[in-house]
Amino acid sequence: MTTIGRGLASAPKTLVWGFVIGVLVSLDVVNVSYIGYHFKLSILLFFLLGMLVLLKNFVIKLPRYFFLVAVFLVLSLTSSILAKELLRGTLYVVYTFIVLYLSVVVVYTLSKENPKKFFQGYIYSLVAQIFIAVLLVLLGIHDRAQFLYYEPSYFALALTPLFAFLSLNAIDVKMLKPSTFVYLLSVFLFFFFSKSANGLLILFLSFFVVSFLTFFSSGLKRKRNVFLSITAMTFLAFFIAAPALVYLRGYGGDDLLLSSLQKLIFSSDKLGFLVERAGNRLNRILLAMDVFKDNAFVGVGPGNYINYIKNIDHNLYGVPAWLNPYGLPAINMYIEVAAATGVFGLFAFLLILVSVIFGSVSGLRFSAQYLVLFASIVVFLVAINFESSYLRLYFWAWVGMLFSMKREVFQNRLTPRSMKERVELG
């Protein structure tokens, strides 16, 4: 906390904004109710910030991204009209516009003056949230570390940039730096007090993606560091962590994370255990796939999925309560979009993601922060197959930061290609 405190005390404006945005996108459980609908406070605050940004800048220079989001919004609204859910659908389209476009614009605008400082402030906010979450557990307010999120697994997903940052430091052998030690301690505390098995999976995904991107985008020396880091992590996992679990298993601990790891290691049917550990997630995905098949072209309307499945009969409703998908979101982001907006809406949404990913690959080798954010986006797009939804504000905040870093990277590379990118990004 001392490192964070010192950093903020002498912080430039962009670092402070990074910290504020990091907290703002985390307001997962704070809702405002109006005319029977619930709106996240963070969305409303981003709307107000977005209006200020639009009034100040008049024109937001993200034309290609704006065009793709506009196509997705039009298809979403069309789906709402055809599904005869006009009010709900229209509100959801406005909600989607704020999350997919306005939040990106806000973060892009606030961070473009000094993207690296903004990113640093954002990381500070994640660390501060972990320490506050731990304090809430120690005070008995929460059972597990979750702070402003509905559950620890959502918190873990939001911490992906911190996991990716530590992974890159491990590869570059910078783990002994005092500031890095604070980050490492915060991650250890998160797992100790959250007991999040999903978080452990996201941590492993982060390390794997960062390793791959570093290997892909670096010279021979860093490629060697990647190979040595993967070797060291494998050694720690299989020759130290596994024996430790064997030892602890004899004491019959009931720690959620520990017991999950033990069962996975010692289970004779590891795939069956993973399916069981996933709870009702698989059934929620299967149900959403059936809804999509029945509404392939039009969809059931954005924001209408839960209402729709309450009014149909399905054989999955007869399973035990802990496996029953009734009245629950689809959980898989891609299938959720497909079920809500149909095949054309899914295609438009995938175009947005493809544009973000493939339009940003060329900047990987020029900035460590850029690589960390790019890796975080990739990890989210993998993890979202079994967690959360496509309206998570923190994901689109990462996209906004990536755009501003991309702008900085290409401003410093005066080549014909970089000049073209500069024109596109403004």
Residue-wise pLDDT for 395-410, tens only, equals: 999 999 999 998 887 7
Considering only CA atoms, which of 240, 214, 241 is closest in space to residue 229?
Answer: 214
Residue-wise pLDDT for 164-197, tens only, equals: 999 888 877 666 577 788 898 999 899 889 888 7
Report, as an integer, the average pLDDT of 273-293. 76
Report, as an integer, the average pLDDT of 117-133. 95
pTM of the model: 0.84
Where would I find the H helices in 99-159? 103-111, 115-138, 152-158
Judged against a pLDDT cut of 90, whether residue 380 lies above it is answered with yes
CA distance 161 to 397: 11
CA distance 209 to 286: 28
**Which structure tokens are listed for 5?**
């405190």
Q: Decide: helix, strand or coil at residue 196.
A: coil
Contact status, residue 354 vs residue 408, Cβ threshold 8 Å = no
**What is the residue whose two structure tokens read 């954002």?**
122
Judged against a pLDDT cut of 60, whether residue 199 lies above it is answered with yes
DSSP string across 331-387: -SHHHHHHHHHHHHHHHHHHHHHHHHHHTTGGGGGG-HHHHHHHHHHHHHHHHTTSS
Quote the percentage of the chain above a pLDDT of 90.
Answer: 28
**Which structure tokens are listed for 422?**
């500069």
**Which structure tokens are listed for 400?**
């906004």
Identity of the residue numbered 62 = L
Residue-wise pLDDT for 385-395, tens only, equals: 876 678 889 99
Distances (CA, A) of 343 to 10, 166, 288, 297, 348: 50, 38, 13, 6, 9
At CA 289, angle to CA 74 and CA 79, rounded to 5?
Answer: 20
Contact status, residue 107 vs residue 400, Cβ threshold 8 Å = yes
- Report pLDDT for 419: 39
**Phi/psi of residue 34, each to 5°?**
-155, 130
Q: Which of 267-276, 312-321, 335-344 has the lowest mean pLDDT?
A: 267-276
- Report pLDDT for 46: 85
- Report pLDDT for 220: 61
CA distance 363 to 353: 17
Report, as an integer, the average pLDDT of 4-27. 77
Average pLDDT of the chain, as a whole number: 80
Confidence of residue 253 (pLDDT cuts 50, 70, 90): very low
Residue 40 bridge partners (DSSP): 31
Contact status, residue 181 vs residue 3, Cβ threshold 8 Å = no
CA distance 343 to 295: 9
At CA 147, angle to CA 207 and CA 130, rounded to 5?
Answer: 45
Q: Decide: helix, strand or coil at residue 8.
A: helix
Q: Decide: helix, strand or coil at residue 31.
A: strand
Neighbours of 84 (CB within 10 A): 9
Identity of the residue numbered 319 = V
Confidence of residue 413 (pLDDT cuts 50, 70, 90): low
Considering only CA atoms, which of 130, 178, 142 is closest in space to residue 22?
Answer: 130
CA dihedral 170, 172, 173, 178 (to 10 degrees): -80
Comparing 278 with 198, which gets the higher pLDDT?
198
Q: Which of 185-194, 264-273, 331-340, 347-356 has the lowest mean pLDDT?
A: 264-273
Identity of the residue numbered 32 = V
